[in-house]
Amino acid sequence: MIKNIFIALSVVTVVVLLVFVFSYSADEPEAVPGVEFAVSAVEHSSFGLLFAGASILNDPVGDPQAYAGMGIPDIVFISDIHPDHFDVDTLAEVVGASTTIIAPSVVFDELPAFLKDKTVVMANGDSHTVAGVMFEAVPMYNLPSESDTVYHEKGRGNGYVLESDGTRIYIAGDTADTPEMRALQNIDVAFVPMNLPYTMDAATAASAVLEFAPTIVYPYHYRGEDGLSDVLLFEELVQQGNSDIEVRQLDWYTQEL
């Protein structure tokens, strides 16, 4: 239903509709001019997208009521097994009969049968299309370091690159500053994490973003062991390095600010 409406409406009308659909959030939805896209932050790595007429949830965890204003998603992306990305009880509440879940195998293994039936398992490098949105699973992992703790092994979880009509959106997931991230091309919108020791610090995230140069970047997933990362420093470093990259700050941690 939403997909058909989006095809028929003008860009101005689309933006108005997005505000209505995402009215559950304290944040106004962010729109990209000329692109059927909007994002509304929920918390940490959880957010909603409208992209190319498809309703999408990313890593839905926590209170299912936080997603109530979005309706039934066409697609749910899950990046990893950790509880800040995967909550089977929340997932069961937010999906509908027509929803397709996209997940790595470690998540699939933990799903009850009725959710497995709705799930497409993707490994790094796999591609798929749902509701007119093409997407590829890309690596997300920690780099070798002096620490013996590896929070995210290479090949276990997925980041995702979504594409429709030439517009490309990158959802990085729980990743460090990897060569695969730096090698990305033609990214219009990126969601990039920055929280030590699980991903990377703000300065390293800024360096990676300057390398693959998305048009717009959203800092997300920035709560770590020592609190919230310095996303303002991230913005400053990106702007100093390339003023053509727009950094958009959303309120991901209302309870902690």
**21 phi, psi to nearest 5 deg:** -60, -35
**Exposed, middle or buried by CB within 10 Å (0-12, 13-18, 19+), for 228?**
middle
Mean pLDDT to the nearest integer, 9-21 = 34
pLDDT classification of 148: cutoffs 50, 70, 90: low
pLDDT digits (tens, 9 = 90+) for 210-246: 999 999 999 999 987 778 889 999 999 999 999 999 9
Q: Which two tokens stand for residue 76?
A: 């749910």
Render pLDDT for 51-68 as a digit per residue (tens, 0 to 9). 999 999 999 999 999 998
Determine the pLDDT at residue 33.
55
Lowest-pLDDT choice from 20-34, 83-97, 98-112:
20-34
The predicted model gives 102-114 an average pLDDT of 97
Question: How much is the average pLDDT of 109-122?
Answer: 97
- Higher pLDDT, residue 36 or 169: 169
Distances (CA, A) of 240 to 9, 235, 245, 247: 38, 9, 10, 12
Phi and psi dihedrals of 148, rounded to 5? -80, -10
Residue 156, pLDDT score:
87
So what's the pLDDT on residue 152?
67
| Residue 146's pLDDT band (cuts 50, 70, 90) | very low
* Domain residue limits, the chain: 2-243
Cα dist. 153→139, 140, 142 in Å?
A: 10, 8, 6
Q: Report pLDDT for 144.
A: 66
Residue 68 DSSP SS3: helix
Q: What is the pLDDT of residue 84?
A: 86
159-190: pLDDT as tens digits: 999 999 999 999 999 999 999 999 999 999 99
Of how many residues is the chain composed? 257
Sheet holding 54-58, edge to edge: 30-31, 37-43, 46-51, 54-58, 75-77, 100-103, 119-121
Output the average pLDDT for the chain: 85
* 2-243 CATH: 3.60.15.10
Q: Quick one: 158 exposed, middle or buried, by C-beta within 10 A (0-12, 13-18, 19+)?
A: buried
Rounded Cα distance, 227 and 166, in Å: 37
Kindly state the tokens that stand for 148: 């013996």
Highest-pLDDT range among 106-115, 142-151, 248-257: 106-115
Return the number of other C-beta atoms located less than 10 Å from residue 187's C-beta. 20
Q: What is the pLDDT of residue 2?
A: 39
